Amino acid sequence: MVEKVIPIRLDEGKDKGLAPPIPGQLVAANTSTKDTRGRPLRDLRISVTDRCNFRCTYCMPKEIFDKNYPYLSHQELLSFEEIARLTTIFASLGVEKIRLTGGEPLLRKNLEVLIEMLAKIRSTAGQPLDLTLTTNGSILRKKAAALKAAGLHRLTISLDGLNDEIFKKMNDVDFPVTDVLDGIAAAQEAGFTNLKVNMVVKKGTNDQEIIAMAKHFKGSGVTLRFIEFMDVGSSNGWDMSQVLPSKDVAEKINAVFPIEAIEANYPGEVAQRWRYVDGSGEIGFISSVTQTFCHECTRARISTDGQMYLCLFANAGFDFKTLLRSDKSDLEIANAIMNTWADREDHYSEIRGSNTATAATRKVEMSYIGG
């Protein structure tokens, strides 16, 4: 039975995040800031909505996210202009990759307008930012062409199985898998290449779908990635016994479709890359439970209401919305980001244990901060 814990949210007029430190002596925005473990800031994940039309048991379980759940009001959300301004500042500090998340980001009205705004921002090297988005694919058929036209570069679709009964059990809203597969097809038709599909593997729930998923996407041009069931937030009833280690998943696949490890695309890449020996494609494994990658983590997260989180497993954020809605200059906000990042020491996955993984250690919910 999942304990009913209302996930962290910051109500207007009530609790705020931590105040970002602005130094008395400002320095020019630069790309050299590193945290206490020597990690640079290169990736930014931005949650554009805390709402979702799925009720996946590992993210937004129905018994908590019911009709009475207090979602953020419209005025609490960062506006598109505020997101674009903040992204521009982050880009001046070395951020090169932006991932839009949620909730389900495609539920944010006119999201393609935001993507058009972000597509105009340039990195310090003068290049367009790498714009990507994670979606459950439920309304991708309707949105794919507009997203591509707006300037979105890449898409990641969450899909936890091909068996309709299992998939509906996972999303818990009776949504058919055929509609997600149709959304993936729509993305390909719109011209998206390098599509990725993420499958969260929960032992005893959908692990029997591993080979079926591998077979389906093998040779399709889509990279399938398997994610270990993680202890994100305090409401998903996480238990280590439900984690199927990536090495076990790899062994299952290799027994049917031989695979071999390949090098990462770039330092700090989350997924370990493998390819089919017969040359028919690539798969990946995201193993934040059994094989930590904290030492290479270069990403910050902005919540739906403008709080900066330094780790997916954080329990407190820094209130940048208040700075954006004040008279603070871009340089002052840039200095606040640099100072916040310089003090960062987060490495939750490396210290995960019986105490840190329980609800007693309250962590921000995935639906609020984005995956």
* Summary mean pLDDT of the chain: 88
Q: Is the pLDDT of residue 253 over 50?
A: yes
The pLDDT value recorded for residue 352 is: 61
As a whole number of angstroms, the distance between CA 144 and CA 190 comes to 6
Supply the DSSP symbol for 222.
P
CATH number for position 65: 3.20.20.70
Indicate the pLDDT class of residue 350, thresholds 50, 70 and 90.
Answer: low
| Strand-pair category, 154-158 with 259-261 | unpaired
Kindly state whether residue 11 falls inside one of the protein's structural domains.
no
Strand partners, 120: none
Cβ neighbors of 157 (< 8 A, separation 6 or more) are: 134, 135, 136, 137, 140, 180, 183, 184, 187, 195, 196, 197, 198
The pLDDT value recorded for residue 315 is: 79
As a whole number of angstroms, the distance between CA 8 and CA 365 comes to 7
Give DSSP secondary structure letters for 8-60. P---TTS---BPPP--SS-----S--B-TTS-B--EEEEE--S--S---TTTS
What is the domain count for the chain?
Answer: 1
Kindly state whether residue 8 falls inside one of the protein's structural domains.
no
As a whole number of angstroms, the distance between CA 138 and CA 226 comes to 20
Kindly state whether residue 24 falls inside one of the protein's structural domains.
no
Kindly state whether residue 149 falls inside one of the protein's structural domains.
yes
* pLDDT (mean) for 172-196: 95
Residue 60 or 190, more confident: 190
The first and second tokens of residue 358, run together, are 């329980």
Indicate the pLDDT class of residue 225, thresholds 50, 70 and 90.
Answer: very high
The pLDDT value recorded for residue 223 is: 97
As a whole number of angstroms, the distance between CA 214 and CA 316 comes to 38
- Of 118-132, 182-196, 274-288, 355-369, least confident by mean pLDDT is 355-369
| Strand-pair category, 318-319 with 43-47 | unpaired
As a whole number of angstroms, the distance between CA 370 and CA 308 comes to 12
As a whole number of angstroms, the distance between CA 110 and CA 271 comes to 31
Closest CA to 50 of 70, 31, 30, 24: 70
Kindly state whether residue 27 falls inside one of the protein's structural domains.
no
Kindly state whether residue 183 falls inside one of the protein's structural domains.
yes
Work out the number of other CB atoms within 10 angstroms of the CB of residue 164.
13
* pLDDT (mean) for 213-231: 93
% of the chain residues with pLDDT over 90: 68
Q: Which residues form the domain of 195?
A: 43-369
* Contact (Cβ atoms closer than 8 angstroms) between residue 160 and residue 200: yes
- In degrees, rounded to 5, the angle at the alpha carbon of residue 225 between the alpha carbons of residues 296 and 278 is 110
Kindly state whether residue 278 falls inside one of the protein's structural domains.
yes
